[in-house]
Amino acid sequence: MAKACGSRGRQMRSLTDKQRIDYPILAITLFSVLYNCILAYINHNIMPLSISHVVLCEGLMMISSVAFILKKGIYEEDLPIVLFLGFALVITIYIIVFNRLTFIDQFRNILIIFAFAGIGSWASERTVKLAFRIACTAVLLFLVCEIVSTPFYVSLFHPGEYFENTRGIKQVSFNSTGLFANALGFQGRFSFGLIDHRSSSIFLEQVSLANFCGVIVIYLLSFWPKLALLEKALCISTVLLILLTNDTRTMLIFSCVSIGGYFLFPKIPKAFNLTLMPVIILIGFFVHFMKPDEVGDNFTGRIGVTIKKMLDLDIQAILGLSISRIGEFADSGYVYLIYGSTIFGLIVFWLFVCLYPAGRTAAQRRCAHSLSLFIFLNMMIGGTAIFSIKIAGLLWLLVGYMRVSDNPRAVRVQSENLNESRVPG
């Protein structure tokens, strides 16, 4: 009888946990998605901003997340992300000491993963769903606005001016639109031709919007059976409109593969992820040797650029002793990671991405496999975009939640504390 009552109690607590809204987690996550467009609006309409304001916003998010994690407490299951952050700190100190040059970008990237995966592991199902629902709604709303009236969209955010003030990216003379220059595209680039530039929505630049599409696809794979019809329609509409207007070849490929992956991923052991990065790199070498002169801004050209830079790696770069050159590799993820954290940093990052997500349930394996495919494919044709807090925050919140989704830790810790309080003193 006591066991039955205890079981019912745990079920009730689990149900309550799913319906709970964690407002601090929700606020931090939504701010990570929206802060860029908020700052852009302030920059043009209220007061000019600088890079310090961007750093301040990111710092507030990091401090708030870490404070939340520390308040909850560090448990044994947090060991992987704690060790990962510790390793990043050691590598950062090594890079700074031996290069005699301050470089903390890679530590900041890993700190974002630590912070959002950490708070995600404490989030309720309802919180994660609400975060994605609000983010999707905001992206879709301003994407439609950008498509219907680009001048009105520009009048709200003035992306070109914002990036000049806060990132030092000068507005080029041929760009009279007010958009971020890289969103203009060029003749001959892959496009569906629905608008005259690459869409950006609330992210103000095209790469983050493309990667947001990939994050939503991972969310759909992870949550599909649990989503209401309207939620599915919202996410699918957002993904389709991004694919049709952003001209992103990588996310088009990723989205198409993920449709089959929904049925295939649950049948594949999680350990298979460890082969994914080497396979993608090998395919990259094959593509490059088949088309050695491809270096343009197309899919095979971007692969060619990355492979050529990998072939140019020397022992200094592999050991992280050429950090002054890292600015040359912002569009080649694997090379950037090696220059910024040594070859060992790349290996540890690969192991973390593959091993940290859980793989006990079908939904967890869908999340784990799609995460690895998203990141390792992106690193072949891009650089630092996957580490942007605008995308990484929402992504790692999802990964952190999915890691414990079959046995929510908030319920477990609550039960353990309750049992301890009942033990006679």
Positive/negative CA dihedral, 273, 302, 294, 328: negative
How far, in Å, CA of 81 to CA of 407, rounded? Answer: 19
How far, in Å, CA of 194 to CA of 197, rounded? Answer: 9
How far, in Å, CA of 313 to CA of 338, rounded? Answer: 9
Question: pTM for this one?
Answer: 0.91
- 425 residues of the chain, pLDDT tens digit each: 444 445 555 555 555 666 789 999 999 999 999 999 999 999 999 999 999 999 999 999 999 999 999 999 999 899 999 999 999 999 999 999 999 998 999 999 999 999 999 999 999 999 999 999 999 999 999 999 999 999 999 999 999 899 999 988 887 766 677 788 777 765 555 567 678 888 999 999 999 999 999 999 999 999 999 999 999 999 999 999 999 999 888 899 999 999 999 999 999 999 999 999 999 999 988 888 887 776 666 667 778 888 888 988 999 999 999 898 888 887 788 999 999 999 999 999 999 999 999 999 999 999 999 999 999 999 988 778 889 999 999 999 999 999 999 887 766 665 555 455 454 54
- Ordered DSSP codes for 190-202: ----SSSS---GG
The owner of tokens 């940093």 is 345
Alpha-carbon dihedral angle through residues 89, 90, 93, 95, given to the nearest 10 degrees? -110
Q: What is the largest CA-CA distance in the chain?
A: 78
Pick left, alpha or beta for residue 338 (phi over 0 → left; psi -120 to 50 → alpha; otherwise beta).
alpha
In the structure, how many helices (H) and strands (E) does the chain have? Answer: 18, 0
The owner of tokens 């396979």 is 279
How far, in Å, CA of 364 to CA of 357, rounded? Answer: 7
| Cα–Cα distances in angstroms (integers) from residue 336 to residues 21, 91, 168, 246, in the given order | 38, 14, 21, 25
Q: Which two tokens stand for residue 38?
A: 């908020």
Query: How many Cα neighbours within 13 Å face the side chain of 118?
Result: 31
